[in-house]
Structure 1
Amino acid sequence: MSQAKPAPRLTVMVAFPRAQVLDITGPMQMFAGANGAAGARRYELVLTAEDKAPLKTNGGLKLMPDRSFSDFTAADFKRIDTLLICGGDGTAAAMENPALLSFCRKAAKQARRVASICTGAFVLAALGLLDGKRATTHWESLSKMQTLYPEIEVDEDAIYVRDGKFWTSAGVTTGIDMALAMIGEDMGHETALAVARQHVVYMIRPGGQSQFSAQLKAQSVAPGRLSDLMQWIIEHPSADLTIPALAERAHMSERTFARAFQAETGMTPARFVMQARLEHARQRLEQAQDPVEEVARASGFSNTEHMRRTFQRMLNVSPQAYRERFHSPALSALGVHS
């Protein structure tokens, strides 16, 4: 006797005018990709808004909602597996929309899993659903969330956070990371990895990863001695990267260098060096089969234990476990190295 196929998980994305289009399409495409990878409709995807009129996003594109809030029956609410709330320029107006808030409150109560992308977290916060919980949002809105909602434990660095059934992500492309993590939870890591590869997503990033990569931080600094030095650090993680050595390379006194670096980047030189070394090690573990000891040495860690402690503190996973989860045999076969 053949087994009955599992019912598709009803996955509802809540949208509003001037939403960030990638907050919507990024996660939804990952779930659609999971359907393709499974060869079956494992997720029933629905885009909903206050009405079914074309919805203009903040990028100018218009999306057609599948259903309006009023279309949902009591039976529909009971079927919702995952509720997703996008962010974008229209979030402030959405937070004052009675129909949207009423729908989200009712759906969140029934759903197995509730998630926000970017500033969509403010909708959950406005409903009191994140009180006493850890959460994150786009880096530009972190201080605003801390000020408006002091009862929320705001994680200032993570690309996404899970606390119970509530998931919040840092915004835009991190919604893709969060969706892949959900797919991995529902269907297994191999399926999530297959979806990531199909969509040429560089990797499946763990939620504890920082919103601020060393490379992006280096690019954000005005051209000059410090930006050149930061790029050099990224390219030479195993070099002597102590304050005296870096100050000498920057042609500054140690005190002036440390002060200027903090003022320009918002972080200490030691923090930036740690991030650069961690990113280098991650890439080596993902893309090559080098022994962990060699990865630690090439990435500038004093030894494997030093690297292990850094991975545990920053990513909540050991280097070996990280490789087992995120290593790409295809890149290794091509001889790709960082």
Structure 2
Amino acid sequence: MERRIVVVGYDGAELLEIASLNTSLAMANVTGEVKPPYRVLLATPGGRPITCPTGLVMQGHESLERLTGPLDTLIVAGGFGFEAATSDARIVAHVRRLAAVSRRVASVCTGAGILAAAGLLDGRRATTHWRYADRLARRHPSVDVDATPIYIRDGHVLTAAGVTSALDLALALVEEDHGAEPARRIARELVVYLQRPGNQAQMSIFTDAPPVTDDLVRRMAAHITGHLDGDLSTATLAALGGVSERHLTRLFREHLGATPGRYVRRVRTEAAAQLLAGGTLPLTAVAGRCGFGTTESLRQAFVDRYGITPSRYRAASVRS
């Protein structure tokens, strides 16, 4: 007996997404962590080879048109070719047909657009790559699009954010099927430092650098990240920058999309998340280093930002 996992690919599908899914689930079989084992199949139109954006060619295992159920999981990959795939009535129809005979359905990145075109996300909360979230929301107003999380589960449907989130999705599927410990062991075999919780944000303040068009905003952002445990009130920052609080607030809203207070809270919370995921500091020490003062303030900020408490975030992040 096997768990049949079907990944739907097409010309322009992202190789890294397909490989992350295939390798992670195959590794589960190799390590002997899962019973029954996974059987991962790549289904393509006509069963033909598909050309990925990098120019590499992948051979399909099955013809999308001839594939029948029941299936354990149907996963639609994303990629630059998703627009053509979404416009292909045959691909959309067969995804809809196979979803009806699958225990669960998922997508990675812009594959969510194909699920939405098939009506499989209507009335559901879903995510996709942050760059395409607004487009998905405009085209499918019946879908509750949330561009923040790495992945979302709504009922039996899962959607993952983009590209490397396919790895997070695969590990989440293993954990759902077989428990947390097998997923951790597989992550170690794959040399994955961190299996990110689904609620973790796609975009980080540490990778989404502030614009360089405004020197004052750039200097204030640098000061904030370098003095998390200091006085970062709007009044103090305004005095440091030699401007009024009102002017500083206007600049922050214009260039960073948040007031100084909200920006500081976000930076502190993400810094705390990094400390929790990568170390064993007590919560009191993490709160102090990041300027929260108390563990209760840290807890409230975490729940607001990630939807879980700091202790649960650490438990989900640690790979023993």
Q: TM-score by structure 1 length?
A: 0.87
2:304 corresponds, among 306, 313, 331, to 313
Moved more, 88-97 or 257-266: 257-266
Distance 1:100 1:261, change over 3 A: same
Q: Is the 8 A contact 2:147 2:161 kept in 1?
A: no
Distance 1:66 1:234 in 2: 49
SS at match of 2:163: coil
Change over 3 Å in CA distance of 1:293–1:107 after alignment to 2? same
1:222 aligns with 2:222: no
Gaps of 5+ in 1: 1-6, 330-338
Matched, 1:14 2:8: yes
2:178 to 176, 187, 202: 187
Contact 1:213 1:275 in 2 (8 A): no
1:215/1:231 contact within 8 Å kept: no
1:27 aligned onto 2:21: yes
> What is the CA distance between 1:225 and its match in structure 2?
4.2
1:82 to 49, 56, 73: 73
Q: Percent identity?
A: 36
> What pairs up with 1:252-267 in 2 under 5 angstroms?
252-267=243-258
Instruction: Give 2:124's aligned residue.
Output: 133
Which stretch of the first structure deviates more once superposed, 203-212 or 10-19?
203-212
How big is the shift at 1:135?
Answer: 0.8
Which letter does structure 2 place at the counterpart of 1:173? T
Partner of 1:211: 202
1:230-269 matches, within 5 Å, as 230-269=221-260
Distance 1:197 1:234 in 2: 31
| Alpha-carbon shift at residue 273 of structure 1 (Å) | 2.0
Q: 1:70 is paired with a residue of what secondary structure?
A: coil
Give me the TM-score of the superposition, normalised by structure 2.
0.92
1:59 paired residue number:
54
The DSSP-based 3-state class of the residue aligned with 2:182 is: helix
Deviation at 1:99, TM superposition (A): 2.5
Give the direction of change, closer, same or farther, for the CA distance of 1:302–1:110 in structure 2 (3 Å limit): same
RMSD over equivalenced CA pairs, Å: 2.0
Distance 1:320 1:13, change over 3 A: same
Partner of residue 163 from structure 1, selected from 149, 154, 160: 154
- The 2-side partners of 1:245 and 1:213 are apart by 25
Compute the displacement of 1:152 (Å).
1.1
CA contact (8 A) 1:37 1:191 kept: no
Instruction: Assess, with a 3 A threshold, how the Cα gap between structure 1 residues 61 and 293 changes in structure 2: closer, same or farther.
Output: same
2:104 maps to which of 83, 102, 113: 113
Question: What CA distance in whole angstroms lies between the structure 2 residues aligned with 1:304 and 1:277?
Answer: 13
Q: Distance in 1 between matches of 2:17 and 2:294?
A: 40
Matched AA of 2:18: I
More moved, 135-144 vs 35-44: 35-44
Secondary structure of the residue that 1:217 maps to in structure 2? coil
Residue 138 (structure 2) pairs with residue 143 (structure 1): no
Counterparts of 1:82 and 1:67, CA distance in 2: 15
Distance 1:101 1:188 in 2: 33
- Whole-angstrom CA distance in 2 between matches of 1:146 and 1:159: 17
Q: Deviations over 1:290-338 (max 9, x none)?
A: 2211111112113111111122222222222222332245xxxxxxxxx
Q: In structure 1, what is the equivalent of residue 85 of structure 2?
A: 94
Query: Aligned partners of 1:278, 1:159: CA distance in 2, in Å?
Result: 17
CA distance in 2, matches of 1:251, 1:8: 67
Whole-angstrom distance in 2 between the partners of 1:177 and 1:228: 35
Distance 1:237 1:301 in 2: 9
User: Would the aligned equivalents of 2:197 and 2:313 in 1 still touch at CA under 8 Å?
Assistant: no
Is 2:63 aligned against 1:68?
A: yes
How many residue pairs get aligned? The number is 318
Residues 228 and 193 of structure 1: CA distance in aligned 2, closer, same or farther (over 3 Å): farther
- Supply the distance in 2 between the matched residues of 1:129 and 1:295 (Cα, whole angstroms): 42
- 2:212 aligned partner, one-letter code: A
The farther-off stretch of 158-167 and 282-291 is 282-291
1:118-144 C-alpha deviation (Å, 9 max, x unpaired): 111111111111111111111122111
Separation in structure 1 between the aligned mates of residue 228 and residue 310 of structure 2, nearest angstrom: 17
AA at the equivalent of 1:60: G
Q: Within 1, Cα distance between the matches of 2:26 and 2:249?
A: 48
Q: CA deviation at 1:251?
A: 4.1
Residues 150, 198 of structure 2: 8 Å contact kept: yes
Give me the whole-angstrom Cα distance separating, in 2, the residues matched to 1:131 and 1:261.
36
**What is the CA–CA distance in structure 1 between the aligned matches of 2:259 and 2:17, rounded to whole Å?**
32
Q: 1:105 to 1:236 in 2, by over 3 A?
A: same
Q: Give the structure 2 partner of residue 288 of structure 1.
A: 279
| Alignment partners' CA distance in 2, 1:46 and 1:26 | 13
Name the CA shift for 1:69/1:308 in 2 (closer, same or farther; >3 Å): same
1-structure distance, mates of 2:160, 2:257:
22
Per-residue deviation, 1:227: 3.4
Q: Give 5+ residue unaligned stretches, structure 2.
A: none
1:69/1:99 contact within 8 Å kept: no
